[in-house]
Amino acid sequence: MNNFILFGITLFCWSPTWYIIKFQLGYVDPLVSVFYRFLAASMIIFIYLIIKNKKLRFSLNHHIWFLFFGTCLYSLNYVFFYLSNTYLISAFPAVVFSTVVIMNIIGEAFYFKKKPSVKTLIGATIGMIGIIIIFNDEIFNFNLSNGVHVGLSLALLGTFSASTGNMIYQRNLNNSFPLIQTLAYSMLYGSLVTLLITQLKGTELLIEYSFSYIASLTYLSIVGSIFAFIFYLKLLEKVGAGRAGYVGVVMPVLALLISTIFENLMWQTDLIIGLPILIIGAVLVINQKIEPIK
């Protein structure tokens, strides 16, 4: 499939999720919603694999790496972002997530000996300047009573977890792990890790039967998890983790538009100036050639 088609489908599957997550917050603990989301997604994929009579038996080594991948990308990543959404409007965690492209470039250099160019490092620096401008008030007027700092920190932790998951998937890809089975087991293990976290916290496993909760959970499980990750990981296979992370650069623009329409986001000067700088920096990162370290 064409890279631009993979990119476009992934983008439009994921962009609304930042706003839709808001409908998961309230009666049900955010961590429990993460557990439901990926448990449901994994069950759907397993049903598909069984119907298609696909291979389901793998070695212990495979399962260990399924667990690592699932913990980073389908548990900790989403746990941090769901919690972040309780402090920030939906678009701001998406803006923070755009730094995944920079983390992916660094990760490829560290784990797979792919050396970024000087222009790539310049682009990453510009991207960081954009983030600082957008969140300058929260950064330079630090106040522990201000929940925005907590939300920002959680979003950064979520982004790091996602980037680490990308690196693990690249490692698994290099070892010929099958995509769909990887998703099924990793989402299952990720959901169980999240369940463990909820039980350690003593969180009650509640369910909300409102239309908004069930509809949002359905979208997040099927479109925002199964389809989005199938297309994103296929894109990662074809262009690498660094360039695939470009999805995270464009996504904040759509997320901000959604927040403007549905959450009455007012575009302040720092956001108007910082967002284009962030995008410019990330585009510079994506457009650079990455050469192996000699």
**pLDDT confidence of residue 50:** 97
32-64: per-residue pLDDT in tens? 999 999 999 999 999 999 999 999 999 999 999
Give the integer Cα–Cα distance in Å for 289 and 163: 19
Q: Are 222 and 44 in contact (CB under 8 A)?
A: yes
5-21: per-residue pLDDT in tens? 888 888 888 888 878 98
Give the integer Cα–Cα distance in Å for 69 and 162: 9
**pLDDT confidence of residue 21:** 85
Residue type for 7, please? F
Give the integer Cα–Cα distance in Å for 87 and 273: 23
More confidently predicted of 87 and 1? 87
More confidently predicted of 190 and 106? 190
Confidence of residue 293 (pLDDT cuts 50, 70, 90): very low
More confidently predicted of 59 and 147? 59
Q: Map out the domains of the chain as residue ranges.
A: 3-292
Confidence of residue 242 (pLDDT cuts 50, 70, 90): low
Q: Count how many residues are written for the chain.
A: 294
Residues 6+ apart with CB under 8 A from 103: 159, 160, 163, 245
Lowest pLDDT segment from 85-89, 109-113, 239-243, 288-292: 288-292
Q: Are 31 and 203 in contact (CB under 8 A)?
A: yes
Give the integer Cα–Cα distance in Å for 157 and 83: 11
The token duo for 28 is 């049900």
Give the integer Cα–Cα distance in Å for 155 and 232: 20
219-229: per-residue pLDDT in tens? 999 999 999 99
**pLDDT confidence of residue 209:** 93
**Mean pLDDT value across residues 229-243:** 82
Confidence of residue 287 (pLDDT cuts 50, 70, 90): low
Average pLDDT over the chain reads 84
Assess whether pLDDT exceeds 50 at residue 128: yes
168-221: per-residue pLDDT in tens? 999 998 899 999 999 999 999 999 999 999 999 899 999 999 999 999 999 999
56-102: per-residue pLDDT in tens? 999 999 999 999 999 999 999 988 988 887 887 656 777 788 788 78
Assess whether pLDDT exceeds 80 at residue 269: yes
